Amino acid sequence: MITQAASKIAFLFPGQGSQAVGMGKDLYLNSVAAREVFDEIDDTLGRKLSTMMFEGPDEELRQTENTQPAIMATSIATWRAMEEATGVLQIPNAAAGHSLGEYSALAVSGVLSVTDAVKLVLERGRLMQGACEERPGGMAALIGLDEVTAEEICRESGAQISTINTEQQIILAGDHRSLAMAIDIASARGAKKAIPLQVGGAFHSGLMSPAQSGLNDMIDSLTFHDPLVPLVGNVTAKSLGTAEEVREELRLQLTSCVQWNNTVKFMLNDGITSFYEIGHGRILSGMVKKIDRSASIANIGDFASVLKYATASAS
């Protein structure tokens, strides 16, 4: 049985950086529905990703080809465990994912099957790795500077705004020379922090363009459905109501800025009062709290939090 939530809630899905060895293990051990998700993803990959997730080693889990499907697996398994525990899944009033997390949201909203979502994520990761090798670059975090100042820094350095997490947390991407220059300028402009990130490339920037054609082909090869849950896109920060709107969002997302700050504000302005971060970690919860301290936020990423959610839903 499926029912709409009485109050306006949103499900949020984390992206790369939220991974850790052991994530999802207690879900696998305690939830039949979650176990089926991990097994389905293992079968799709043709290898035991779940064993690596639960036991490590960490160096292997941090490889993009493993990290991305592992994060997706944990989010989708958590969601299925929530459904199993409640018996009546609350359909959220909105769903959104941060970068990679947007692909988890596609599976949860019924746009893609779990198998197709995993296939798309794997191909996306492979293509992005190729783009990183063809056009090397990186990313840097600016803390304490606003978007206008960040745009000025980009014009002077040649870097590009890659992600706007909050009004005071902005990520830049670019080649190594541009980023080094941007960090120096940002420090001179009074940034609280201006630091390079430990990532493999300049994600969500023009340096990812060598991957565009291949990603478009993969998107076009899969069957997309209109979302059952209202999706809010990374790039547009607006609701995506049709399969074709979702396809276009994914095409744009590869080289465009992730507008996370505006995505959360869109949901708040639409009357969302409670946010649930579905998956491992609390990165998105922290961002939402910085955007609006009055927002109600909870993380659901292990079996104990699933049961807590089920108890609250029943009351």
Residues with catalytic roles: 99, 204
Task: Specify which residues 97 forms β-bridges with.
Answer: 13
For residue 187, count CB atoms less than 10 angstroms from its CB and return exposed for 0-12, middle for 13-18, buried for 19 or more: middle
Query: Helix axis angle, 64-86 relative to 32-45, nearest 10°?
Result: 150
Mapped to the 3 state alphabet, what secondary structure does the chain carry? CEEECCCCEEEEECCCCCCCCCCCHHHHHHCHHHHHHHHHHHHHHCCCHHHHHHHCCHHHHCCHHHHHHHHHHHHHHHHHHHHHHHCCEEECCEEEECCCHHHHHHHHCCCCCHHHHHHHHHHHHHHHHHHHHHCCCEEEEEECCCHHHHHHHHHHHCCEEEEEEECCEEEEEECHHHHHHHHHHHHHCCCCEEEECCCCCCCCCHHHHHHHHHHHHHHHHCCCCCCCCCEECCCCCCEECCHHHHHHHHHHHCCCCECHHHHHHHHHHCCCCEEEEECCCCHHHHHHHHHCCCCEEEEECCHHHHHHHHHHHHC
Cα angle 305, 308, 312 (rounded to 5 degrees) comes to 140
Task: Specify which residues 158 forms β-bridges with.
Answer: none
